[in-house]
Amino acid sequence: MRDNKQYLIVGLFVLISATVLIGVWIWFSSYNRQVYNTYVAAFNESVDGITTNSTVKYNGVEVGKVKKIELNPKDPRSILIYLDVLEQISLNKQTYASMKAQGVTGMFYISLNVQHGAKNNDNIEPHNSQPYPRIKTKESLLSGLTGQAQAIANNIGNLSSDMRTLLDEKNIKHVANILANLDKVSGSIANRSDEISESVKTMAQILKNVEKNSENLNSTFAKIQDLTKTVSETTSNANSLINNFQDNTLQNINAVLLPNLNNAISHLNQSSYQFEQLLKLLNQNPSALIRGKSVQTLGPGE
């Protein structure tokens, strides 16, 4: 009977202790529990090095973890990575995700960054239900370098193929002939080096004479310009003299010649009238030329 009481006491103690430990563990768990918002990013490259619970960093600060990785059922070439980001972190609509290497361990993490020029307070509205908000992605540096290296390798391969095509037996013979001809030309030039030197000296002298003639020609042009300027000034003076002469002549004609000419014409008109009267008188009475004009007889009442 006593043993049963001891077993009962021990059992109660163990049960109470376990209950207390479980309560403490639940209390600490709820105290340190973090609330996350879920987003999804679609990568069109290999995600080797990313695993569940891989780190998610925002501008270098750890803000979450990778929740799940799966193939896109609509496009197997695309890989969907679900990201748990702390609830208090707001993601701009221009935020993009990329993979970055974490040291030399071969592991990667998801880096979140915002494009330049993004508007403030233009944030993604989070909701923890399907379909999750989508985050843009950007090709990782390693993937870009791999693609460029592959492109360079392809170009080198194409260049090598072109070189093999170019340097076939026929083209090699042509190249050999060209080199032989160049050798002959260089030998001929070496044999005629003295003549070439004299030709160069002659050409230098010709250029020197041309330079002197150019200077003389420039001087002649300058003199021609001065002469042209002088002729232009003389012509201007002559035009001014002619204009003055014309003005003076017109003034003299209007002031002297025209009034005298009018008077002469008036006297001439009077003389013509008198001569006309004389002729009329002679036609009527020719004897008047000898006896003179007779006195008219007065009429009645005069």
Q: How many domains does the chain have?
A: 1
Average pLDDT over residues 103-115: 85
Mean pLDDT score, 112-134: 89
In a domain, 66, yes or no: yes
**Predicted local confidence at residue 62, as pLDDT:** 93
Structure tokens at 10: 């021990």
Quick check: bond before 300 cis, omega within 30?
Answer: no
pLDDT value for 282: 66
pLDDT value of position 39: 96
What sign does the dihedral 137-143-144-148 (CA atoms) show? negative
DSSP letter at 191? Answer: H
Mark residue 135 as left, alpha or beta (left: phi above 0; alpha: psi -120 to 50; beta: remaining).
beta
Mean pLDDT across the stretch 177-183?
82
Provide the token pair at 270: 């009077």
- pLDDT at residue 78, rounded to an integer: 92
The answer to whether residue 164 is domain-embedded is no
| 284 falls within a domain | no
249 inside domain = no
| Residue 82 pLDDT greater than 80, yes or no | yes
All residues at 6 or more sequence positions from 139 whose CB lies less than 8 Å from its CB, including other chains: 44, 45, 98, 147
For residue 61, being part of any structural domain is answered with: yes
Is residue 238 assigned to a domain?
no
Considering the chain, what percentage of its residues have pLDDT values greater than 90? 21
pLDDT band at 154 (very low <50, low <70, confident <90, very high): confident
Asked if residue 65 belongs to a domain, the reply is: yes
Per-residue pLDDT at 67: 94
In contact, 91 and 124? CB cutoff 8 Å: yes
**Number of helices and strands in the chain (H, E):** 6, 7
Strand partners for 101: 108
3-state class of 24 per DSSP? helix
Domain assignment present for residue 143? The answer is: no
Note the pLDDT tens digit of each residue in 219-260. Answer: 777 877 887 787 677 777 767 766 766 666 666 666 666 777
- Per-residue pLDDT at 288: 57
Which tops the pLDDT comparison, 134 or 170?
134
User: Does residue 113 surpass a pLDDT of 90?
Assistant: yes
Q: Provide the residue range defining the domain that includes 43.
A: 36-138
Contact 54, 65 (CB under 8 A): yes
User: Which pLDDT value is given to residue 143?
Assistant: 67
